[in-house]
Amino acid sequence: MDVADVSGVPLWVTEHLREEGIESLYPPQAAAVEAGVADGDSIVASIPTASGKTLIAQLAMLSAVDRGGKALYIVPLRALASEKREEFAAFEAYDVSVGVATGNYEDSGEWLAGKDVIVATSEKVDSLVRNGAPWVDDLDCVVSDEVHLVDDPNRGPTLEVTIAKLRRINPNLQVVALSATVGNAGEMAGWLDAELVDSSWRPIELKTGVQYGQALHFGDGSQRELRVGSNEKPTEAIVRDTLAEDGSTLVFVNSRRNAEGAAKRLANTSRDGLDDDERRQLADLAEEIRGVSDTETSEDLAACVHKGAAFHHAGCSSDHRSIIEDAFRDRLIKVVAATPTLAAGVNTPSRRVVVRDWRRYSGDAGGMKPLSVLEVHQMMGRAGRPGRDPYGEALLLAKSHDELDELLDRYVWADPEPVESKLAREPSMRTHLLATVASGFADSRAALLEFLDQTLYASQYRHGPDGGEDNLERVVDATLAYLETNDFIDRGETVEATNLGHTVSRLYLDPMSAAEIIDGFEDATTPTVLGLYHLVSRTPDMYELYLRSGDREEYTMLAYERESEFLGSMPSEFEEERFEDWLSAMKTARMLEDWASELDEDEIAERYGVGPGDIRGKVDTAEWLLGAAESLAGELGLESVGAIRNARKRVQHGVGEELIDLAGVRGVGRKRARRLYDAGVETRADLREADKAVVLGALRGRAKTAENVLEAAGHRDPDMDDVTPDATAVPDTGADGESTESTESGGSGGEAALDGQDQSNLGDF
């Protein structure tokens, strides 16, 4: 189908597509147009990665805007929101305004009312609905990218309920659901009252198979020789072979440690495939990575990048991940070893994908468990970029002939599992039932059940397996009882949220987190910082640090030493599971206390065995939970509000109490605040009236930094021309060396900069 034959879209779209080199639509795109995607009809598009899903979404959104409507693009990750914002920015030349929203879950997002296309994570959309964003009523088109993630136990229910609510608000809403791996796409289309576009067409061939011995064994029965040297591992041989054809390789492993180890080994292979210009560019890139954070993770990553390799996992900072993704897309970095989260939609195609580890540890299984077919197919779909690769290959690795047969049967020849709703999980149901009542979607048990009938869960599990007791009613009744017991709802003739329930829903808290915090407040007349950090660390909304070998004894001793600071009674050591959770929360709280005591990031990373991304994630989550605790304390009229606010500000900036005011100045942050304080500039007011020579000295002679800081503080003359640093204010060069200047201003960078407020456990992996 020629692009000029697409009806329903603005006239400029054809011209724009031709400028982008698109003369005709791919077959799946043409099928979507024929199904009415540009005419306002709902569709489920189950088509392979790189087959044009984004253009299908654009045709739907731009036609909706052309009809005078508004479109919403829901993404699973904040990183994807940033990526899509850049991609859609081209439409602004045609007077289509684009906005992005990802963080700050108390914000109603009224500023988005003037935007034609809005990009947001499912969690953000859910919070906007809860907080009554008025423009939600005006939506005409909603695109759900990676819709198979409704199957995810942690994040899927939010996407599912959000889609159901948006369809309830706007009965004529067009829903465009996109995925490369839906085993039951027809069932999904039935749930959404949508037409199904189901295709296996790809613009370039993707061959999937298994490496075993000295050959690649493909699913179509063909083979190709690939010699593995006597001193080589199979992955190294695959990378070497791919480099010989000027291709890149993406290797999926099952843990962060394995990702780092694989990258270090594969760097010795990738360095042989670099030319002189690439070596120079990679040397600069390695220095940029070192500037992100002064940690062992940063140094290890830079060493790999210097040789053309990298690792990618959640322990890396957002800036690290962004740098690696960009360089890999540009084929400057030749090989990336990653955990499976990189397969979740971020645009990182490669010539070859290697699924090295097809099992990972599962606590539920008590050991190693095979990955799902859906997950493996998501990884495999990263192979092959149209216009860059002549083909794509995705390979698993076998150690025996029996394993070769098993992998072909289990993954290569298998279809993805059906997507199944996880809404009935206890945390999901209590969170979303409260939000449904608090936001006015339902005011009775019957109305709740009527609303939930519109979810995927109801269509799949409306009745128990024996056709007797209604499963949905049983779950709803148990959840309503919990919410009533904890004073979040009142149940009489109607079901209504209490003032407390409204607050909990607005704060985007799991009601069990709110109950834990409120119970802890009973002992919170003069709470300590550690006590407050421990309180929020033991809520379901905080992912606690794991106890490593030897940690139990250390943190048991610490727990008894500081027992008086806890908000709530410490469980007995004989209550194994509860006590272990208590100690994990203790470890998390101690890390937050170290951060708020200005311990260097590299020392924290080494002490707790975490990466800079983990530190940032825990800090952001703690700040959010303490902000929620502050609101709850205010709602309950407690005297501890000031202490909670103090603890929140300290963890937000990573500073002692005396630096809170100074660190809050834009561009200052934890280390610059300490240097200024030590030079006698102790408050924002002091900075506003400060001697410029003292400020310049404290900031190590960095004139532009000093100007920006003084301007942010409101100094009457921030200009640093002809100013000489005061030598007495220059700090000694020590552990907080120059390499940290680039990030010490306190922001988490990357996608976190989209709104300035973020909760890393929400909407990110």
Give yes or no for residue 740 having a pLDDT over 60.
no
Q: Determine which of 6-15, 74-83, 161-170, 372-381 has the lowest per-residue pLDDT on average.
A: 74-83
pLDDT value for 744: 46
- Identify the pLDDT of residue 754: 33
Pairing status of strand 206-212 against strand 215-218 = antiparallel
The pLDDT value recorded for residue 526 is 84
Q: Are residues 215 and 184 in the same domain?
A: no
On whether both 333 and 404 belong to a single domain, the answer is: yes
Whole-number pLDDT of residue 676:
95
Among residues 448, 471, 506, the one where a domain terminates is 506
Same domain as 68, residue 19: yes
Q: Residue 763 domain-assigned?
A: no
Amino acid at 202: R
The answer to the question of residue 764 being in a domain is no
User: pLDDT band for position 743 (50/70/90)?
Assistant: very low
Helical H segments across 332-470, by residue range:
373-380, 401-407, 426-438, 445-452, 456-461
User: Do 534 and 547 sit in the same domain of this protein?
Assistant: yes
Domain boundary, last residue among 384, 412, 440? 412
* Band of residue 293 on the pLDDT scale cut at 50, 70, 90: confident
| Cβ-Cβ contacts under 8 Å for 662 (sequence gap 6 or more) | 668, 673, 676, 677, 681, 682, 683, 684, 686, 687
Instruction: Give the HSE-up count for residue 158: Cα atoms under 13 Å, Cβ half-sphere.
Output: 24
Q: Which residue has the higher pLDDT, 119 or 386?
A: 119
Same domain assignment for residues 363 and 458: no
The pLDDT of residue 38: 96
Tokens coding 162 = 């959000």
Mean pLDDT across 546-559: 93
Residue 248: Cβ-neighbour burial (10 angstroms; 0-12, 13-18, 19+) = buried
Q: What is d(CA 764, CA 748) in angstroms, rounded to the nearest whole number?
A: 14
Sheet with 206-212: list strands edge to edge: 223-225, 215-218, 206-212, 392-397, 352-355, 249-252, 335-338, 309-312
Decide if 65 is inside a domain: yes
611-636 average pLDDT score: 93
pLDDT at position 469 is: 46
CA distances from 525 to 520, 567, 590, 624, 744 (A): 10, 10, 21, 21, 34
Domain of residue 457, CATH code? 1.10.3380.30
Residue with tokens 């001697």: 691
Residue 591 covered by a domain? yes
| Same-domain check for residues 594 and 577 | yes
CB 342 within 8 A of CB 315: no
- Number of folded domains in the chain? 4
Asked whether the predicted pLDDT for residue 731 surpasses 60, the reply is yes
- pLDDT tens, residue by residue, 695-721: 999 998 889 989 999 999 999 999 999
Q: Does residue 520 form part of some domain?
A: yes
Q: Which of 180, 129, 218 is nearest to 381 (CA)?
A: 180
Report which secondary-structure segment, H or E, holds 139.
Answer: strand 139-144
C-alpha span between 376 and 416 (Å, rounded): 9
Burial class of residue 564, CB neighbours in 10 A (0-12, 13-18, 19+): exposed
**Same domain? 185 vs 47:** yes
CATH of the domain at 399: 3.40.50.300
Could you read off the pLDDT of 489-506 as tens digits, one per residue? 999 889 999 999 999 999
Listed in sequence order, the residues at least 6 apart from 477 whose beta carbon sits closer than 8 Å to its beta carbon are: 445
- Closest Cα partner for 626 from 764, 756, 755, 759? 759
pLDDT at 629 over 70: yes
Query: In this structure, are residues 141 and 119 in contact, taking their beta carbons and an 8 Å threshold?
Result: no
Residues 6+ apart with CB under 8 A from 135: 70, 109, 110, 112, 113
pLDDT of the residue at 108: 66
Domain holding 247, by residue range, is 206-412
Assess whether pLDDT exceeds 50 at residue 577.
Answer: yes
Q: What is the pLDDT of residue 460?
A: 87
Q: Are 662 and 568 in contact (CB under 8 A)?
A: no
Alpha helices in 636-739 (DSSP H): 641-653, 660-663, 669-678, 684-688, 692-698, 703-713
Q: What percentage of residues in the chain have a pLDDT greater than 90?
A: 74
Read off the pLDDT of residues 191-227 as tens digits, 9 standing for 90 and up. Answer: 999 999 999 999 999 999 999 999 999 999 999 999 9
Q: What is the pLDDT of residue 314?
A: 85
C-alpha span between 178 and 183 (Å, rounded):
13
| Lowest mean pLDDT across 110-114, 156-160, 355-359, 394-398 | 110-114
Beta pairing partners, 45? 178, 197
Q: For residue 470, what pLDDT band results from cuts at 50, 70 and 90?
A: low
Residues 93 and 162 in one domain: yes
How do strand 206-212 and strand 392-397 relate by DSSP bridges?
Answer: parallel
pLDDT band at 131 (very low <50, low <70, confident <90, very high): confident
In a domain, 754, yes or no: no
135, 137, 141, 143: CA torsion to nearest 10: 70
- Are residues 116 and 47 located together in one domain of the fold? yes
| C-alpha to C-alpha distance for 620 and 317, rounded to whole angstroms | 13
Backbone phi, then psi, for 394, in 5-degree steps? -125, 130
Q: How far apart are CA 279 and CA 582, in angstroms?
A: 49
| Total count of residues recorded for the chain | 765
Per-residue confidence band for 735, with pLDDT thresholds at 50, 70 and 90 = very low
Which range, 27-36, 382-391, 459-468, 756-765, is most confident? Answer: 27-36
Instruction: Give the predicted TM-score (pTM) of the model.
Output: 0.87
3-state secondary structure of 350: strand
Are 535 and 441 part of one and the same domain? no
703 in any annotated domain:
no
Task: For residue 184, tell me if it sits in a domain.
Answer: yes
346 and 359 both lie in a single domain = yes
Residue 107 has pLDDT above 70, yes or no: no
Element (DSSP H or E) covering residue 585: helix 576-596
Q: What is the pLDDT of residues 151-188, one digit of tens each?
A: 998 889 999 999 999 999 999 999 999 998 888 999 99
Query: Given a cut of 90, is residue 102 above it in pLDDT?
Result: no
Examine the domain organization and report whether 515 and 623 are in the same domain: yes
Closest CA to 530 of 583, 580, 585, 593: 593
pLDDT tier for residue 591 given thresholds of 50, 70 and 90? very high
Q: Output the average pLDDT for the chain.
A: 90
Question: What is the model's pLDDT at position 345?
Answer: 58
3-state secondary structure 461-504: HCCCCCCCCCHHHHHHHHHHHHHHHCCCEEECCCEEECHHHHHH
Residue 728, Cβ neighbours under 10 Å: how many? 11
Q: Is residue 759 over pLDDT 50?
A: no
**pLDDT attached to residue 464:** 52
Quickly state the pLDDT bin for 405 (edges 50, 70, 90). Answer: very high
CA distance linking residue 26 with residue 646, whole number of Å: 57
Residue 752, pLDDT > 60, answer no
Query: Does 737 have pLDDT greater than 90?
Result: no
Q: Is the dihedral of CA 227, 229, 233, 238 positive or negative?
A: negative
Q: What gap in Å lies between CA 168 and CA 348, rounded to an integer?
A: 36
Copy the structure tokens of residue 610: 């975490």
Q: Which of 714, 421, 752, 734 is nearest to 613 (CA)?
A: 752
Which of 639, 658, 677 corresponds to the end of one domain?
Answer: 658
Query: Would you say residue 549 has pLDDT above 60?
Result: yes
The more confident residue out of 510 and 318 is 510
Distant-in-sequence contacts of 367-375, Cβ < 8 A, 24+ apart: 370/410, 371/340, 372/416, 372/417, 373/183, 373/410, 373/411, 373/414, 373/415, 373/416, 373/417, 374/148, 374/151, 374/181, 374/183, 374/416, 374/417, 374/419, 375/340, 375/343
User: Residue 524 above 70 pLDDT?
Assistant: no
Q: Residue 106's pLDDT band (boundaries 50, 70, 90)? A: low
> Tokens standing for 580?
């272990």
Q: How far apart are CA 678 and CA 736, in angstroms?
A: 14
